[in-house]
Chain A
Amino acid sequence: MSRAAHAPSASTKRAGEDDDICPVCKSSRYLNRYMHFLVNPECYHKMCESCVDRIFSHGPAPCPIAGCKKTLRKARFRTQTFEDLKVEREVDIRRRVAKAMNKEETDFETLRDYNDYLEEVEEITWNLILKVDVEQTERRLRRFEEAQKAELNPNAVRRSVDAGPDTSTLSETSHVILKKGGAQRKAQNVPSGNMPIPEDETGFSFRGLKKRKAPEPEKVFDPTSGWSVDPTYYNVKDEYDHKFFAVKHEPRFYAFGYKAPEYYSHALRDAFGGLGVFLEDDRTSEEMDFGTQAAAIAVGGGRDVDMNDVF
């Protein structure tokens, strides 16, 4: 939003520059062809770029417009987007509220609850725009933001609580706050009487809000996805003392990539393959219609068993 103030060409006339006289230095476009007005969202008082440079270059200073005591910082000055400063301000406020109160319809259980929430958002927005109960509304908004932050990231909030109380409430003070550090020191001196806010004043306990579920902790990666084929009926030994298993010592096996343990477990699996499997448990009702008993037994018992196996 805040665009860097390049020297604008005289031909492009910006919104809100029709009066062409700076209210602070009374300079006019006649005297300064490249005059360019800026506003600060703190008070929306308009002044020319050279005034901003002159007054605020050395740090925060009070607004030079008579009767306005807001402390302004140079960094926050920007070119106004809308011609009407009221619109500019409303857009700023709406943007701020929308950023804080960003619940969506899916966060609520019913449409009714969502609509109630939207009404609340609108109420806060208009309170801020029309400056009704500003202090209380601000507090409500802030509490809401905090609650939401706590919901999203409990650890971060715990840390910020440890770091000290929020300082932003002090921007209303009439004198110039020079440094943030100073503000923080000041904040600690403020009697803590006005810090705790009664629960009923928070105003962000929306009805029908769905409970946010924390994502499940990630499981430890299992390279086998939990599958296993450990034998139930036998143990495979590393070595079998039988002339048939001499494969282990002959180079034409071990050098060629033939592994005796693979052979052992294969042979044992062949021998014990069908044990503990009951056809009746395995068959589903639709299969009962086909596949005769004989066929099923053939599948389980007779097929493919290598009769050369010593087992």
Chain B
Amino acid sequence: MGMSPALSPRPNPPGSNAPANAAKARPLVHLLNHKTVPSPSLASTATTPGGPDEGLAEEMNDVVKNQFVFGSRLGEGTYATVYRGHYRDDPSKLVAIKKMKKNAEWQDGINLDSLREMKYLAELHHPHVINLIAVFTTKDENINLVLEHLPRGELQDLWQDKSIAYGGADVKAWANMICQAVWWIHENFVLHRDIKSNNILIAADNSLKLADFGLARSFANPEADMTYNVITRFYRPPELFLGSSHYGGCVDMWSVGCVIAELACREFFIFSETDLQHLVRICDVFGVPTEAEWPGISKLRFWQEQLENSPPKRPQPMSWWRNKMPLIGDAGIDLVKGLLAMDPAKRLDAKQALAHHYWTTAPKPQKRENLPGKGGKAAEKAMGEQLKRVGPEADEEKMSKIARKLDFGAMR
């Protein structure tokens, strides 16, 4: 958890919009410091309750809070309620306000996924990452995240809604926006760990925004073990099923590959009922990885139980891919296969994905204003539904229970 990009070497965004973004994030950082992460130099002055700085913190919070007006409720979930809101001085500037609920498990302090979300969103500013505008608390000590208003729903609704027709150029534009977002967060050493098509929201200008950083974490040091119970099953890479405890950006890239494949074939790319089944499904498509194809695979925790004795399987031929996703052409299939390489070392990283020839071969990516989509009330409601979704904490807990019950003998 090394850096605070608000003050990092200045990234070089096009034009001069970055300093403005960085400036916007500042009040939030102050609040975070005050409430949650007392840093050594602040501790003396700011964090003692009732200390001399209490008044200042209150004042800062009020100033931020008073900038926004709550509007109608868009959705309510276990962990948060989402309201539509707008700036007090300009009612045409809409925002979505995510009011985190206090819950029984986290009596003291902030619950972990809202903390993660604040921590990383405050630092990441990119056109394709959801913008956290401000954070404030209300009198009952609820934390409110003021997020960008994204009225056009989730990416998943788009490919699932068969009344919307789209073509190869549209897929290319969307895929590129997703890759840019992931490239940016990886470039800033943040792993998203829950990329899926319903965590990608569509802004009013049709650009995609990566949202829900509730499972995000910074790239780990080599000695730190990471949990492999992350990422929604359909989007989880094989090394996590095999129990990898040291991974990097490549886990997100697999998810990106799944999302692009999903857009191209308009169904979940690899789907299964259980975690166990999922690895089998992956092998159905890509073949059973061997030590030769994936050096070191036998060192993975669950390799022996899951794969050692499974019969060899060939990967699907190119004709299968062409048949499955005619929308993206051979170049697109090459990109998807690169992103869905079984061996994480061979998988394209975000930078390589952006350098892929898919972007430059015909057709050109669709212009943003011509991208198909849906709008209106239903989509806005979807935004509410998405933002308030049950925090990944709960998911993780559920998953860990499942993991304990896995019966690897059944694979044989």
Chain A residues engaging chain B, CB cutoff 8 angstroms: 218, 221, 223-233, 244, 247, 251-259, 262-263, 266-267, 269-270, 272-277, 279, 282-284, 287, 290-292, 294-295, 297-306, 308-309
Find chain A residues with CB under 8 A from B27 CB: 287, 290-291
B210 to chain A, nearest CB (A): 14
Contacting pair A229 B11 (CB below 8 A): yes
Q: List 6 A-B contacts (CB under 8 A).
A: A227-B14, A231-B9, A252-B296, A258-B246, A259-B248, A259-B344
Q: B56 at interface (Cβ–Cβ under 8 A)? A: yes
Q: B45 at interface (Cβ–Cβ under 8 A)? A: yes
Contacting pair A282 B22 (CB below 8 A): yes
Q: Which of A229, A252, A262 has the largest number of chain B CB atoms within 10 A? A: A229
Contacting pair A270 B3 (CB below 8 A): yes
A126 to chain B, nearest CB (A): 43
Report Cα–Cα, A231/B8, bound state, in Å: 10
B239 to chain A, nearest CB (A): 5
With A255-B296, A276-B10, A290-B60: A306-B30 Cβ-Cβ less than 8 Å: no
Report Cα–Cα, A128/B91, bound state, in Å: 57
With A256-B239, A282-B22: A290-B11 Cβ-Cβ less than 8 Å: no
Partner of A255, one of B56, B180, B299: B299
Look across to chain B and name the residue whose beta carbon is closest to the beta carbon of A297.
B41
Lowest 7 CB-CB distances: which A-B pairs, in order?
A255-B296, A257-B344, A251-B296, A226-B14, A270-B2, A256-B244, A258-B246
Taking A232-B9, A266-B219, A274-B8 as known contacts, 8 extra A-B pairs with beta carbons closer than 8 A to each other, sorted by chain A number, are: A253-B246, A256-B239, A259-B349, A262-B219, A277-B9, A290-B63, A292-B45, A303-B37
Look across to chain B and name the residue whose beta carbon is closest to the beta carbon of A244.
B222
Look across to chain A and name the residue whose beta carbon is closest to the beta carbon of B12.
A228
Contacting pair B29 A255 (CB below 8 A): no
Find chain B residues with CB under 8 A from A272 CB: 9
Q: B33 at interface (Cβ–Cβ under 8 A)? A: yes
Partner of B247, one of A221, A231, A257, A303: A257
Q: B13 at interface (Cβ–Cβ under 8 A)? A: yes
Q: Which of B3, B11, B13, B297 has the largest number of chain A CB atoms within 10 A? A: B3
Look across to chain A and name the residue whose beta carbon is closest to the beta carbon of B18.
A227
B165 to chain A, nearest CB (A): 23
Look across to chain A and name the residue whose beta carbon is closest to the beta carbon of B253.
A257
Find chain B residues with CB under 8 A from A225 CB: 14, 127, 180
Contacting pair B41 A257 (CB below 8 A): no
Contacting pair B39 A223 (CB below 8 A): no
A122 to chain B, nearest CB (A): 38
Contacting pair A229 B2 (CB below 8 A): no
With A221-B364, A270-B2: A295-B23 Cβ-Cβ less than 8 Å: no
Find chain B residues with CB under 8 A from A284 CB: 23
Contacting pair A256 B246 (CB below 8 A): yes
Contacting pair B251 A223 (CB below 8 A): no
Q: Which of A226, A247, A304, A305 has the largest number of chain B CB atoms within 10 A? A: A304
Of B149-157, B182-190, B272-280, B325-333, which binds chain A? B182-190
Find residues 341-380 in chain B having any chain A CB closer than 8 Å to their own CB: 343-345, 347, 349, 354-356, 359-360, 364-365
With A255-B294, A291-B30: A298-B42 Cβ-Cβ less than 8 Å: yes
Report Cα–Cα, A254/B294, bound state, in Å: 10
Interface of A (DSSP majority class): loop
Partner of B3, one of A254, A269, A279, A287: A269
Contacting pair B2 A262 (CB below 8 A): no
With A257-B251, A298-B41: A273-B222 Cβ-Cβ less than 8 Å: no
Find chain B residues with CB under 8 A from A300 CB: 4, 7
Contacting pair A303 B33 (CB below 8 A): yes
A18 to chain B, nearest CB (A): 52
Find chain B residues with CB under 8 A from A257 CB: 237, 239, 244, 246-248, 250-251, 344-345, 347
With A252-B246, A256-B244: A223-B180 Cβ-Cβ less than 8 Å: yes
Find chain B residues with CB under 8 A from A294 CB: 41-42, 45-46
Find chain B residues with CB under 8 A from A262 CB: 186, 189, 219, 248-249, 349
Contacting pair A306 B365 (CB below 8 A): no
Report Cα–Cα, A251/B295, bound state, in Å: 8
B268 to chain A, nearest CB (A): 23
Find chain A residues with CB under 8 A from B51 CB: none
Q: B111 at interface (Cβ–Cβ under 8 A)? A: no
Report Cα–Cα, A226/B17, bound state, in Å: 12
Partner of B19, one of A232, A282, A292: A282
Report Cα–Cα, A218/B1, bound state, in Å: 41
Partner of B11, one of A228, A233, A244, A305: A228
Report Cα–Cα, A88/B54, bound state, in Å: 87
Find chain A residues with CB under 8 A from B40 CB: 298, 302
Find chain B residues with CB under 8 A from A233 CB: 9
Find chain A residues with CB under 8 A from B355 CB: 223
Report Cα–Cα, A303/B250, bound state, in Å: 27
Q: B304 at interface (Cβ–Cβ under 8 A)? A: no
Partner of A299, one of B4, B60, B297, B364: B4
Contacting pair B297 A223 (CB below 8 A): no
Report Cα–Cα, A79/B118, bound state, in Å: 74
B73 to chain A, nearest CB (A): 30
Report Cα–Cα, A273/B11, bound state, in Å: 11
Contacting pair A273 B4 (CB below 8 A): yes
Q: B284 at interface (Cβ–Cβ under 8 A)? A: no
Find residues 298-332 in chain B having any chain A CB closer than 8 Å to their own CB: 299-300
B69 to chain A, nearest CB (A): 19
Contacting pair B33 A295 (CB below 8 A): yes
Q: B141 at interface (Cβ–Cβ under 8 A)? A: no
B178 to chain A, nearest CB (A): 11
Look across to chain A and name the residue whose beta carbon is closest to the beta carbon of B184.
A227
Q: B26 at interface (Cβ–Cβ under 8 A)? A: yes
Look across to chain A and name the residue whose beta carbon is closest to the beta carbon of B187.
A229
Report Cα–Cα, A277/B186, bound state, in Å: 21
B279 to chain A, nearest CB (A): 15
Q: Which of A230, A258, A277, A299 has the largest number of chain B CB atoms within 10 A? A: A258
Contacting pair A277 B345 (CB below 8 A): no
Q: B267 at interface (Cβ–Cβ under 8 A)? A: no
Contacting pair B345 A259 (CB below 8 A): yes
Find chain A residues with CB under 8 A from B300 CB: 255-256
Contacting pair A304 B3 (CB below 8 A): yes
Contacting pair B299 A251 (CB below 8 A): yes
Q: B176 at interface (Cβ–Cβ under 8 A)? A: yes
